[in-house]
Amino acid sequence: MKALMYGWEFPPRISGGLGIACYAIVKELAKKNIELTLILPQTVTNDCIDHVTLVGCDGLAAPNEMEFEGIVNIKYPKIVTHLHPYINAKNLKQLLSNEAIRDFLLLLECMHLPIELKEMARAIAEAQAAGMEITGRYEVNLLTEVFRYALVAGALAKEIQHDVIHAHDWLTILAALEAKRYSHKPLVLHIHALETDRSGLWVDKRIFAIEKYGMEQADQIIAVSQYTKNNIVQYYGIAPEKITVIHNGIYCNCNEGDSRSTDATKNNQPKMVLFLGRITHQKGPYFFIEIAKKVLEKKPDIQFVLVGTGDLLTEMIERTANLRIGKNVHFTGFLDNDRVRDIYQLADVYVMPSVSEPFGLSALEALSYDVPAVISKQSGVAEVLHHTLVADFWDTENMAAKILALLEYPALGQTSLGHTRDDLRVMTWDTTAEKIINLYKKMI
pLDDT score for 102:
60
Quick check: 45 pLDDT over 90? Answer: no
45 and 115 belong to one structural domain: yes
Does some domain include residue 420? Answer: yes
Within a domain: 205: yes
Least confident residue range of 28-37, 63-72, 166-175, 327-336: 63-72
State the average pLDDT over residues 277-282. Answer: 92
190 and 279 inside one domain: no
Structural domain tally of the chain? 2
Residue range of the domain that includes 382: 259-426
Q: What local confidence, expressed as pLDDT, does residue 38 receive?
A: 86
| Under 8 Å between Cβ of 238 and 215 | yes
- Is the domain of 309 the same as that of 188? no
Least confident of 34-38, 45-49, 244-248, 344-348: 45-49
Specify whether 271 is located in the same domain as 314: yes
217 and 275 inside one domain: no
Q: Has residue 104 got a pLDDT over 80?
A: no
In a domain, 60, yes or no: yes
Task: Return the pLDDT at 260.
Answer: 54
Q: What is the pLDDT of residue 230?
A: 97
Could you tell me if 74 and 194 lie in one domain? yes
3-state secondary structure the chain: CEEEEECCCECCECCCHHHHHHHHHHHHHHHCCCEEEEEECCCCCCCCCCCEEEECCECCCECEEEEECCCEEEEECECCCCCCCCCCCCCCCCCCCHHHHHHHHHHHCCCCCCHHHHHHHHHHHHHHHCCCCCCCCCCHHHHHHHHHHHHHHHHHHHCCCCCEEEEEHHHHHHHHHHHHHHHCCCEEEEECCCHHHHHCCCCCHHHHHHHHHHHHHCCEEEECCHHHHHHHHHHHCCCHHHEEECCCCCCCCCCCCCHHHHCHHHHCCCCEEEEECCCCHHHCHHHHHHHHHHHHHHCCCCEEEEEECCCCHHHHHHHHHHCCCHHHEEEEECCCHHHHHHHHHHCCEEEECCCCECCCHHHHHHHHCCCCEEEECCECHHHCCCCCEEECCCCHHHHHHHHHHHHHCHHHHHHHHHHHHHHHHHCCHHHHHHHHHHHHHHHC
Residue 254 lies in a domain: no
Q: Is residue 64 part of a domain?
A: yes
pLDDT at 44: 61
Question: Do 331 and 280 share a structural domain?
Answer: yes
158 and 136 together in one domain: yes
**Average pLDDT over all residues of the chain:** 81
Lowest-confidence range among 134-148, 209-223, 270-284, 311-325? 134-148
Same domain, 168 and 22: yes
Categorize the per-residue pLDDT at 134 as very low, low, confident or very high, splitting at 50, 70 and 90.
very low
- Please indicate, yes or no, if residue 224 is contained in any of the structural domains: yes
> 210 pLDDT exceeds 80?
yes
Q: Stretch 24-52: mean pLDDT, rounded? A: 72
The larger pLDDT score, comparing residue 66 to residue 170, is at 170
> Averaged over 388-396, what is the pLDDT?
96
pTM of the model: 0.81
Higher pLDDT, residue 120 or 402: 402
Is the residue at 233 inside a domain? yes
Q: What is the pLDDT of residue 131?
A: 53
Same domain (yes/no): 83, 232? yes
- At 158, is the pLDDT very low, low, confident or very high (cuts 50, 70, 90)? confident
Q: Are residues 161 and 294 in the same domain?
A: no
Q: Read off the CATH number of the domain in which 135 is found.
A: 3.40.50.2000
Give mean pLDDT, residues 29-56.
62
Between residues 393 and 74, which one has the greater pLDDT? 393
Q: Which residue has the higher pLDDT, 277 or 98?
A: 277
419 and 437 share a domain?
Answer: no
Q: Which of 38-52, 65-79, 84-98, 223-237 has the highest mean pLDDT?
A: 223-237
Least confident of 65-74, 137-146, 384-393, 400-409: 65-74
For residue 135, the model assigns a pLDDT of 32
Per-residue pLDDT tens over the stretch 296-314? 999 999 999 999 999 999 9
Residue range 153-180: average pLDDT? 90
Per-residue model confidence (pLDDT) at position 101 = 59
Domain assignment present for 395: yes
